[in-house]
Structure 1
C-alpha cells in the first residue's frame, strides 16, 4: 500500500496474514468438492449497495456479513457479481481506510479476516457448475514471480472457472517454475497480475520467455494489477495482448482473443480497458 514506507511493520503483518493463512484457506475452498449446489441468479450488485457494503467488514462479524451477502444471492445476484462487484471493492476499501488513517491495524486486520471468511463460505456453498465441454479454453493465472500478492490472482481465476474455463492459479511462483509449467502444459491464456514494482524490461522479458516456451503457439498473455491500472499503456510497452478493468471484462476479452485465433480472423482491436 502507499503508506508502507511509513508503517511497514503492521502492513507487513497484514500481508503475512493474507498470504500465509487466508490464501491457503481460499485454495482449499477452490479444490474442495463439497458444496450445496444451489441455483444462483444473473443480476449484478447495484453500485450504491456495494458502496454501502464496503465498510461493513469493520463492524459486522463473519456470520452477520455472510447473511448480508446471502441476501444479495437470494435476490438473484450472480456469484460472479458477488466476487467482482461486492467483495473485491470491499477489500479495496479496507485498504483505503488503512492508508487514510481512518482505522487502526487491528480493525483492518479483523475486517480482512471477516471478508475472506465470507469469500471462502460463498465458494464452498455455491460451487460453479458451468461446464460447456469446450476443454480447449484453458488459462493459467499467476502473480509476477517475486510478488507475494496473490489474492487478485485467485479472484480472477475463480471468475474464469465460473465462466466455464479450465483454470489453474499459482501462488508465489519462481520464474523457472512458471515457465516450466507453461512449457509442459497447454494454456490458451496466461494471466499475470502485476502488483509489485518491476521494470518494463523484466515484465517484457518474462512475456517473451512465455511465448518462446509455450506449448500453445498462439498463447495470449493478459496483464492486470496495480501497475497496469496506473499505466494502461504498459500493455503495448511490454508486448502483452491486452488488459481489462475487472475480472468480468477479462473473461470477455479472453473469449474474443481465443476465438479470433481459432477462426484465424484479424484486423480489429479487441483490447478492453
Structure 2
C-alpha cells in the first residue's frame, strides 16, 4: 500500500507545504512548551473525531493503524505517511473513513503512546506535524463532511484568548457592518469556547486580532485548531502583533493580514474573492 503514487487531484500541495513550513517554523521560534501544546492540539482535535456513518469494512484494522503510526514516526522516509494515506484513498477507501478512521485512529494511538512515554517529545512533534500537513493537503475532500450542516457566513472577528484590548476589534466590526457585512464578533472567550463558537457556522473568513507580542503562542495554537475544524476558511491576522512579527503568516499558518482599518474592508474582500 505505501508504495502507491500520490493522487495529484486529491491533494492540495500548496496547503500541504504551508502546513509543513508552519510546524518547522514553530519548532524553530517557539519555546518547548508552546510546541508541545501545538502537538497536543493536533492529537486532541483529530483523535475525538469518531466514525458515525462509516461502514465497518472501510475502517482500518489495528495493524493498519500501527503501520500508519510507524510511517508517521519514520525519520528516514518523510513522505511515508503521505503515501500510506493517499494509497488508501486511491484503493477506494471513502473520505470519511480516511479522516474518521485512519487519521483519528492514528491521533489516538499517538496520544496513548505519548502518555505512556513510549515515544519522545521529538517523535510526537514530528508525527503530529506530518499528520497535520496531510489533513491540510486533503482539505478539499474532507471539507464537505465537516461543513455539511453549517450555514455559510461571511466572516467572524475574534479576539485571541488572553488579549484584553477590545477597542480595535470593536471599531473594525462596526466599520464592516456599516459597509453591509453581516459579521460575528467574539470577544473575551477562552480557547475552547472560541473554537466551539467558530464551529457553529461555515465562515468564509475568520479574522483573529492580537495586539501584544505575548499572544503569539495563543494565536498559533488557535489558527491550528481552527484549521482542523474549518478546512476551507480564509484565516486572517490583524492587530499590533503584526509590528512584532514580520514573518507571522508562516509562523502561525495564516493566509493573510490586515494592516490597518482604512484598507481592512477592501483587503478582506480581496482575500475572500481570491480563488
State the TM-score, normalized to the length of structure 1: 0.42
Scaled by the length of structure 2, the TM-score of the pair is 0.42
